[in-house]
Structure 1
Amino acid sequence: MKKCVSAMVLGGMMVAASAIQPASAQTYNLTLCGASPGGLWSLLGAGIDAAVKASFPGSTVTYQTSGGGLANVKLLDEGNCDLAIIHDAEAKAAIGGLEPFNGVIDSMATVAQLYTWAPMQAIVNADYAAEHRLTKLEDIAEQELPIQIALNRRGNVVSAVGESMLNAVGASPEQIESWGGQVTYAASSEQGDLMRDRRVDMILNSLFVNHSSIRELASAIDVTLLPITKETAQKVIDEWDIQEFTIPSDAYEWNDDDTLTVTVSAQLFVRKDADEQMVRDITTALTENFEELRRVHNAMSPLDVELMAGASTVDYHPAAQEVYEQAGN
């Protein structure tokens, strides 16, 4: 009889323990499509993994290298990853069926905005700017300058955004070539050498403010920043659904004025048909542990829940939206 009572008590305790078992007992094994190894997106992948582990111990978010956001659109669409980091401009191209996509891809849903501070920076050789009285990007077309410009490599969306900026001021790559100049397409890692070797006069690329590559370049040659006008900014914003950005005057010791430009942002996506509980749990983990993403790099310090909830290019997954609404965003 005592054994029977003991078993009943033990069984009741186990049922009670099961009833109050925390949600964190759930575990996930997910794949995140990022970009190259060792870059910021790989660090963000580590931060997302840490955030999910903090809320759901035993979980793993595995970072998968890829060709970047454009490639990730297709990888996510085809179900080759559970999560993907994609730029807003890349998502805009996908849902609009623009190049390099052969048709509309609208299978994405937003989980979180990760950063909005990777502005397009027109960094020009200060001697060239002084010689040609070049004070804003629009001056290139107004003077039909034979300028040598480096954009990011083809197939990278910021290269396309750079072309859009040039087109918006009336200085398309074809027009620049007709004036005796040239637009060169090169990876970010190559652009500093091109500038230092005087093979290009200007770099137009998406970079974090005060990025180490800019500091290294500025220590080798004199440089300055070129702003764009509000009108130019709006043309590019309308085309790509990106945002306006002002680089503050104190960002660089060699730049005295606020510099208006545009910026691309990066978001975390899932498929629209992703499991609702998984999306809810991952979003909750990110909102509860966003400091894990902040820790991966000094550039991520502005990240907070309000910013995570502020994307607009692609609708949020309903489960993610629910989490942000409950958090007051």
Structure 2
Amino acid sequence: MRTAATTILTGTLAGAMLVAAPASAQSDRSDWPDNFTVGTASQGGTYFVYGSGWANLISDELDISGGGEVTGGPTQNLALVHGGDVAFGLTTMGPASDAVSGKSPLAPGLEMDNVCALFPMYETPFSITALADSGITSISEIPDGASIGFGPAASTSDTYFPAILEELGVDFERRNGGWTDLGGQLQDGLIDVIAFAAGIPIPAVSQLEVQTDVNIIEFTEEEQAKVLEAFPVSEFMIPASTYETLEEDARAVSMWNFAIAGCDLPEDFVYEVTKLTMENNDRMMDVHRTAATTIPENIKYNTVLPFHPGAVRWYEENGYEIDDELKLN
């Protein structure tokens, strides 16, 4: 397994250990890995910030070397976790459904059965940004042949957003890249639009609106209804408070995200990781404010992946039911 940049506990931190730490100290750690990696996504996106911060929290409080790793996003993370290349990853329910049914574009025909769910993260809104001076204020105004950045290849955005825009009759040229890089290309006039699928606020968008005027383009009611019928997404409103640019809530669609783990990771290790995460939402909120929905009540939004036995143990000890169909046999 690859190692990553780590944060080691000092005496000062040890004196401020969270309530989860004494439990971990009493656990049998003989079969725990020496280190771990969290598969995130490109720099400039919410996955990278969320995943790296979560990895540091685990590393600090459970005293184990680990960190986040830049990847191609949800689809690649499923493959990396399944193959044991990383211990943990972040993904969305659409790619997860494809992976377990053998429909992943990265491994057609391979049913990824070594991927287990840990906990709910947040909803990923699908949103569109253009420069204000482009004159593009709606999806219908995106000109034919416009160059659109869809994020890293095989990411959730790249997998679903092109199909969504095609469903809505948009003709475009497809571009891929990290969110920060695409933001720079948009600002420099090298591309016309960025179609984001990422937790909000998206760092790249926040940075853009500091440097220039942008339009954050919402779906019309009719466009939203058409997309809801055709894709595994749900209704979503981007709160006006998310960005300085927005004057009112913006209509969108979204997909749920979950943290995942290799099903063969030690049960006690995953139990302690789940316990630490679920019992310290304030610390998760310090990592990224999208973690407001990183709470056990939202486990219901996973209907695809089995939960890791270590996660199941924590949920059931705390009064949350896991459907038998979502437990490993």
Change (3 A) 1:73 1:125: same
Q: Which has the larger radius of gyration?
A: 1
Question: Cα offset for 1:190?
Answer: 1.6
Candidates 121, 125, 144, aligned match of 1:119: 125
Tell me, in whole angstroms, the C-alpha distance in 2 between the residues paired with 1:216 and 1:32: 27
CA distance in 1, matches of 2:222, 2:58: 37
TM-score, length basis structure 1: 0.72
Query: Which structure 2 residues correspond to residues 4-153 of structure 1 after superposition, within 5 A?
Result: 24-26=25-27, 27=29, 28-29=32-33, 30-35=35-40, 39-40=48-49, 41-51=51-61, 53=62, 59-60=63-64, 62-63=66-67, 65=69, 67=71, 68-96=73-101, 97-103=103-109, 104-116=111-123, 118-129=124-135, 134-140=136-142, 145-153=144-152
1:25, distance to aligned residue in structure 2 (A): 1.2
Query: Contact between 1:66 and 1:72, CA under 8 Å: does it hold in 2?
Result: no
The 1:138/1:327 distance shift into structure 2, 3 A limit, reads: farther
Structure-1 residue corresponding to 2:291: 300
Letter in 1 for 2:121: L
1:201-240 paired onto structure 2 within 5 Å: 201-229=192-220, 232-233=223-224
Q: Does structure 2 retain, via aligned residues, the 8 Å contact 1:88–1:242?
A: no
How big is the shift at 1:123?
0.8
Structure 2 residues not aligned, in runs of 5+: 1-21, 321-329
What is the CA–CA distance in structure 2 between the aligned matches of 1:61 and 1:242, rounded to whole Å? 36
Distance in 1 (CA, whole Å) between partners of 2:306 and 2:291 is: 23
Deviation of residue 229 (structure 1)?
A: 4.0
Q: What runs of 5+ residues in structure 1 fail to find an aligned partner?
A: 1-20, 54-58, 177-181
What is the rounded CA distance, in whole Å, between the counterparts of 1:324 and 1:200 in structure 2?
46
- Give the deviation of 1:34 after TM superposition: 1.8
C-alpha distance in 2, partners of 1:217/1:236? Answer: 27
Q: Does the alignment pair 1:170 with 2:169? A: yes
1:5 aligns to what? none
Residue 268 of structure 1: which of 238, 246, 259 is its match? 259
Relative to 1, partners in 2 of residues 1:100 and 1:81: Cα closer, same or farther, differing over 3 Å? closer
Shift of 1:246: 1.0
The structural deviation recorded for 1:210 is 3.8
**Partner residue, 1:159:** 158
Q: Which amino acid aligns with 2:286?
A: R
Q: Given the superposition, is the C-alpha separation of residues 306 and 135 from structure 1 closer, same or farther in structure 2, using an over 3 Å criterion?
A: same
CA distance in 1, matches of 2:272, 2:99: 27
Q: Which amino acid aligns with 1:128?
A: S
Q: Deviations over 1:119-156 (max 9, x none)?
A: 22201222333xxxx5432454xxx6443322213233
Structure 1 86/99 Cα, relative in aligned 2: closer, same or farther at 3 Å?
A: same
Q: Secondary structure at the match of 1:84?
A: strand
Change in CA separation of 1:85 and 1:183 when aligned onto 2, cut-off 3 Å: closer
How far 1:208 sits from its partner (Å)? 3.9
Secondary structure of 1:314's match? coil
Q: Give the Cα separation in 2 of the matches to 1:281 and 1:305.
A: 15
| Distance in 2 of aligned mates of 1:44 and 1:166 | 33
- The TM-score, its normalising length taken from structure 2, stands at 0.72
Query: How far apart are the structure 2 equivalents of 1:315 and 1:236?
Result: 27
Whether the aligned pair in 1 keeps the contact of 2:79 and 2:106 (CA below 8 Å) is no
Q: Rate the CA distance shift 1:164–1:224 in 2: closer, same or farther, 3 A.
A: same
Aligned residues: 287
Is the 2:105–2:154 Cα contact (8 Å) retained in structure 1?
A: no
User: How many angstroms apart in 2 are the aligned matches of 1:107 and 1:48?
Assistant: 22
Tell me the distance in 2 between the aligned counterparts of 1:273 and 1:216.
40
Equivalent in the alignment of 1:189: 180
CA contact (8 A) 1:34 1:63 kept: no
Shift of 1:249: 2.7
- Residues 267-290 of structure 1, C-alpha deviations (whole Å, 9 max, x = no match): 222334544444434323332334
Question: What SS does the corresponding residue of 2:95 show, helix, strand or coil?
Answer: helix
Distance 1:204 1:193 in 2: 14
* Alignment-mate amino acid for residue 317 of structure 1: H
Q: Deviations over 1:220-255 (max 9, x none)?
A: 432212222456446656766444321123433332
Give the distance between the partners of 2:153 and 2:81, measured in 1 at CA.
22
